[in-house]
Amino acid sequence: MPVKPIFKPSLLRNGLGTYVQPCHKVTIQYCNWGGSSKSIRDLLSTGSINKFASENLNIFVEVVKKSGHPVLKFDYSHDKQDSVEVRNKTTTEVLKLLSDYSQRSGNELFKYNHKVLSNNESVRGVWSPMHEHKGHRFKI
């Protein structure tokens, strides 16, 4: 039988070389009449949305006027989307949600109960008793 090489898929490790921010588009949908969109209207009139856009130059910010409750939509790389309803939220709450969600990767939230997540092989390998010095070996 011929020897087959073991297929090893390449890993996408954003940030190992250059870092590309996963969130590339934010859509702010609001209503010009409804009371639940009041904070968004305030943010637009005071220029806070403009400030957010100028601070995050790699995010495309789109403002959509549509009847209904206001929604923030976030587009991430790998065609992932996330949306938050922001009805009756205050301006500070909306700004916090904007900055929080734009710094995420779009992946599902998960809790990793260890300190370091590694894809590399162990540097020192598996400990072997055969390589221990004779004086320290376990004697039967």
Partner 1 sequence: MANASATNATKSVNPTSSNGITSLKKQVDDMKYLKYDSNGSNSLYAILRLHNIPYLVTKGDKIILPTRMKGVKVGDQLTFNNVTTIGSPNFIFNSENGVNPDLFEIKGSVVEITKEPYYEVYRKKQRCRRLKTIPVQNYQTILMINELKLN
The residues binding partner 1 (CB under 8 A) are 13-17, 19, 21-22, 100, 103-105, 109-112, 114-120, 123-125, 131-133, 135-136
Nearest approach, Cβ of 37 to partner 1 (angstroms)?
25
- Shorter beta-carbon distance to partner 1: residue 4 or 115: 115
CB of 74 to partner 1, least distance (A): 12
Of 45 and 119, CB closest to partner 1? 119
Buried b (16+ CB within 10 A) or exposed e, 48-67: bbeebbeebeebebeeeeee
Using the minimum distance from each CB to partner 1, give the nearer residue, 18 or 45.
Answer: 18
Indicate the SS3 state at residue 75: strand
- Tokens 């909306």, residue located: 94
Minimum gap (Å) between residue 116 Cβ and partner 1: 5
Task: Report the length, in residues, of the chain.
Answer: 140
* Residue 35 beta carbon to partner 1: minimum distance, rounded to whole angstroms: 26
Q: Which two tokens stand for residue 9?
A: 């898929």
Closest CA to 85 of 34, 9, 10, 15: 34
